[in-house]
Chains A and B, each alone.
Chain A
């Protein structure tokens, strides 16, 4: 089961890809926290796909695709090869997001032949990955080992995967963090360069009770990994870089969770199903229904959050709003996309830490900049026109409008040059 591929997405609409899901959400394991369970609970299992319909839909979306699931390597090798040959020919690149348990040397040959970038989801070594459940404890541990073996094979083949790790009670309470640190050090030594840390997106009460970390625990774990990053040679946790980029308004390459997202169109994520139907990002799918994308995008969630008091689920008055934007609608309080993220306290703590760090360096972060409100109004103006833009472009626009005013340039920290 994949955890999520949002870590591979950026706001660059010209290069955004499509999630191609030949077998829908079918998976060979059953991660207990999987955000796709609502779909799995409702959709009948997909056993067939239509190669030509999928290719036609990918062409209509444009811009390449990542094979996605469920577990995309359930697709037979011949069909994988056909899809990746198509991807290489038409888009010069390919991608796959996998749990790694099914990777064989034959898959690695295909990855090399067709320039397939591999994203791999694993929550830690051995028992720390138990929540990525495979039916029995023995089978779960065996498949975790296969995932670790797959990482080693990929590294040996010269195609180190990027890692996605979700934090939960099974791997990120204080007593488990040292083992996680040792594991990340090993990955670093092997040559893994990129890891994404996800906070648990809860779709089920039993999962919340059993696995959800408190905000304090999440913050503690995140800060722990942030400190660990300083020790690592090449491996980077992109979330910390992205928060800094947001605070410096250099956010044109941050992942989709930091951008305004309409849950009816999820512009950062275009799904293509096995029958060629186009769909939205599964993160916002709480009903278990693969709704067709709405024809028009809107950003009213963000106008509402800006004006709604925090006590009522909004972001009113938050100095980090321009950067966080209430975060991904899939993580909203009570599963209602009109609320801000339920992880607000965690992101707030990380933004505050970044704010202090930038100040210590003599920089003025966007959150404390005198032009922050101007920024917010510029973003609101865009959203009212059903448009989204990055902070970087907003800064450039404001600076050009106020070129005669010294305020924007003289304060330091935000450099639009």
Chain B
């Protein structure tokens, strides 16, 4: 992946596929975000995990120190991006028990992902999805597209719209440690009275999705919403496709992946259209 010598300022554009999808999913995502924050804090406080590194969008981080203090947690928060840069705000937050707190750049990162983290840090990279996808067992590679089958780690897809519960570059997109953490987190959410949201969150990892980057702009497409945001500027387009086995309520029909193909025949496949093309070509 050769990079170009420019960077796009931070931005985030969100386009929902329909009013119905917006009305259905936006409140769920809001609840899910809060549940992910709450359960991460309570999980560390109660010893489910020694430490966690999560990314929180927007102002949600403001309430964190107070909540963490009440739970006996140490919280270290770093705003992403360059100082003084305008645009959407995200915070990488390392959460540890106060008495076992071990400050360090790699706290909350599984050992298997530390090398990827260092590589990305060293190269001042914004995203690592392509490299993580390249390293994923069983991936299919075709020029500028990598296709993966099976459920993925949430942070790879949803990190600009939802709390990223695993805010570190993944060794690969089926990282066993991160998948184990995901399973643990789902169990903990259910134990903490968030069973419904846990089921939705688990299901979302099996929706089809596509990450694609070009000219420093990423477009992330899911069946209900698409996002555009800044990423590393590269000399050619890159695309990672996650084949899905689940499908969300109000997922859209559309012409390209990851949307569901309409069942009826396309106008451009109709006999009348083809007759016209043939006839006019021969006139």
Contacts and interface: CB of A to CB of B under 8 A. Distances in A.
User: Do A and B assemble together?
Assistant: yes
Contact of A210 (B22, B236, B277): B277
A32 B273 contact: yes
Complex A-B, nearest 4 residue pairs according to Cβ-Cβ distance, in ascending order: A307-B6, A304-B215, A133-B276, A41-B266
Interface residues of B, number: 48
A292 B13 CA distance: 11
Interface in B235-278: 235-237, 252-256, 259, 262, 266-268, 272-277
Interface string A26-43: 000010100001101110
Contacts of B217: 300-301, 304, 338
Given A264-B15, A289-B17, A307 B233 contact: yes
A303 B9 contact: yes
Q: Is the interface of A mostly helix, strand, loop or mixed?
A: loop
Interface of A: 30, 32, 37-38, 40-42, 127, 130-131, 133, 135-137, 140, 170, 204, 206-207, 210-211, 262, 264-265, 277, 286-296, 298, 300-301, 303-305, 307-309, 312-314, 336, 338-339, 384-386
Given A288-B254, A291-B17, A137 B8 contact: no
A291 B226 contact: yes
Which of A41, A135, A207, A314 has its CB near the most chain B CB atoms (within 10 A)?
A: A41
Interface of B: 4-6, 8-9, 11-19, 22, 86, 214-217, 219, 226, 228, 230, 233, 235-237, 252-256, 259, 262, 266-268, 272-277, 279-281, 283
B226 A288 contact: no
A292 B281 contact: no
Nearest to A307: B6
Contacts of A37: 266-268
Contacts of B276: 30, 32, 131, 133, 135, 140
B224 to A, nearest CB: 11
B65 to A, nearest CB: 28
8 contacts: A30-B272, A32-B276, A136-B275, A210-B281, A287-B255, A289-B254, A292-B18, A312-B215
A292 B16 contact: yes
A304 B13 contact: no
Contacts of A136: 275
Contacts of B228: 264, 298, 300
Contacts of B279: 137
Contact of A286 (B13, B16, B237, B255): B255
B215 A314 contact: yes
A131 B16 CA distance: 34
